[in-house]
Structure 1
Amino acid sequence: MEYSISQVARMAGVSSRTLRHYHDIGLLAPSRVSGNGYRWYGRRELLRLQRVLLLRGLGMPLEAVARTLDGETDELTALRRHREQVAAERERLDQVLSTIDRTIAALSGRAPIGDEEFFTGLAEARNRFREDLAIRYGDGAGGHLSAAGQATSGWTREDYERAAERGRRLFASMSRARERGVAPGDPEALDLVSEHHQAICALWPADAAAYHALGDLVLDNPEQRAMVANVDPLLPPWLAEAVRAYAVHRLGHGTPGSPT
């Protein structure tokens, strides 16, 4: 059985743009491309996509994913290796969970925790995000995130908590709009995304093209998607589309003279 690119995107929880990108870079070719340019995928391609997303979920850069998959011919051996990687990721998440538990214990007065411990296990997520930006959009984008890290290096625990709370409130407002049937391209949605854009630009000077591309990372970067889905599991695709719409309609992405 074959599936269209939109069907595969829905099944896998990624964007059609991401699948086209994977095709363009040689990571995931469709089983065939029809005369009208439509891409079609079979079971073999679905299995490869599953493995791509698994490795991406483990934080592996796209170039490394391609090398890994292209160097493997034995599916069973490949799955066993991926199981080892998942086990390693579970260990990393256990470290993050331990940090959260210690923080809860400290806030409830059961055990003290130093300010440095508060961030244990969280730096890796930022590093993966920086690598993702650099691979997709060049070293300059990753460098901007490094500058953002320096800008927040003096933040206290309370600063991080306030920023996180602002983000949760914004995502909650977006979730309520989505539930009311507000489309991602509606003016109300774009007004909400304006606050998201301002928060991004306060740390990362993203131009129209970079902010448009950020819509894909809302879906494809595990930490970014989880941060949004934690508020509303159905919000990531809505927000991704709204971010792209904002870049087009409010920032002029794709218009003559704008960054593309």
Structure 2
Amino acid sequence: MQYSISQVATMAGVSARTLRHYDEIGLLAPAAVSANGYRWYGRSELRRLQRILLLRDLDVPLPQIDAILAGDDDEAAALRRHLVLVTAERDRLDRIAATITRTLEDLEGQDRLPDEEFFRGLDEGRSQLAATLQERFGDAAASSVQTAAGGTEHWTRSDYDQAAADGRELFARLSRTRRSGLDPTSPQALDVVVEHHDAVRALWPVDPAAYHALADLIETDPQQRAVAGTEDPDLPAWLAAAIRAYAIHRLGYRHL
């Protein structure tokens, strides 16, 4: 059975204009176009649209979605990967919500929060990062993050607050650089990205190849994309491009 563009738009909760745009950029072509120019969609197009919308819900940019779908020959395997991403994002938000709730109860005097409980969300986030790095880059990367975490063992709340403030300020500087209109591959942009590279190396002695690959993680991993895009949703894609350029032009990385 085939559906008109208006029927598909209604089913998917998107506009016909969005579907036409997806067709124009080669992301979702209709199954057929009639002589009068009407677009018609079949079941395979509906499945592809579902995957596009799942990735859009994760804030993956359209060019990245195109690249992801182009590499997917097995639809079931692709959907399982999408499910992992969605589940990881749900779990991350659940952890954040639980930490905020516990902190609010502490601030409002309902329940005094023990210091170790105060940092539980941070510890869980660090463990998730270590697991992600292990999957992408191997045991050495995960071990580096856990070793670096040992250095924060005796930190106070003030120490964590300062580290969080430093991180927010770094991403704010990167965002200001992006908003200024600088190309992410320009020398001026890379002069700012050096701070990001230094911050990463403080946790993980990353080599040029791994730093280049980290760009993919920032674009596709929900946790890392959320960290980079908290105040500026357009920053992750810009930063990923800048990281790749930095690895090539400043660290000597060469694609094989």
Question: Quick check: TM above 0.5?
Answer: yes
Deviation at 1:113, TM superposition (A): 2.4
Q: Which runs of 4+ in 1 moved over 6 A?
A: 1-6, 8-11
**How many Å separate the matches in 1 of 2:253 and 2:65?**
16
- 1:134 paired with 2:134, answer yes
Please say which structure displays the higher CA radius of gyration: 2
Q: Is the 8 A contact 1:96 1:120 kept in 2?
A: no
Larger RCO, structure (CA 8 Å, separation 6 or more): 1
Q: Which runs of 5+ in 2 are unaligned?
A: 1-18, 29-50
**How many Å separate the matches in 2 of 1:182 and 1:229?**
18
Please show how residues 144-223 of structure 1 align to structure 2 within 5 Å.
Answer: 144-223=144-223
Q: Is the 8 A contact 1:5 1:19 kept in 2?
A: no
Please show how residues 49-64 of structure 1 align to structure 2 within 5 Å.
Answer: 49-59=78-88
Change in 2 beyond 3 A, CA 1:178/1:124: same
Q: Which runs of 5+ in 1 are unaligned?
A: 31-44, 60-85
**Sequence identity, in percent?**
42
Query: With structure 2 as the length reference, what TM-score do the two structures score?
Result: 0.68
Deviation at 1:248, TM superposition (A): 0.9
**How many Å separate the matches in 2 of 1:18 and 1:51?**
18
Q: Which amino acid aligns with 1:135?
A: E
Aligned residue among 73, 76, 80 for 1:29: 73
Deviation at 1:147, TM superposition (A): 1.2
Q: Which amino acid aligns with 2:194?
A: S
Deviation at 1:185, TM superposition (A): 0.7
SS of the aligned residue for 1:209 comes to helix
Match of 1:240 in 2: 240
More displaced 10-residue stretch of structure 1: 103-112 or 191-200: 103-112
Query: With structure 1 as the length reference, what TM-score do the two structures score?
Result: 0.67
Q: Which amino acid aligns with 1:136?
A: R
More displaced 10-residue stretch of structure 1: 240-249 or 94-103: 94-103
Q: Which amino acid aligns with 1:29?
A: D
- 1:99 paired with 2:99, answer yes
**How many Å separate the matches in 2 of 1:29 and 1:4?**
22
Q: Is the 8 A contact 1:148 1:203 kept in 2?
A: yes
Match of 2:114 in 1: 114
Deviation at 1:224, TM superposition (A): 1.1
Deviation at 1:17, TM superposition (A): 10
More displaced 10-residue stretch of structure 1: 217-226 or 123-132: 123-132
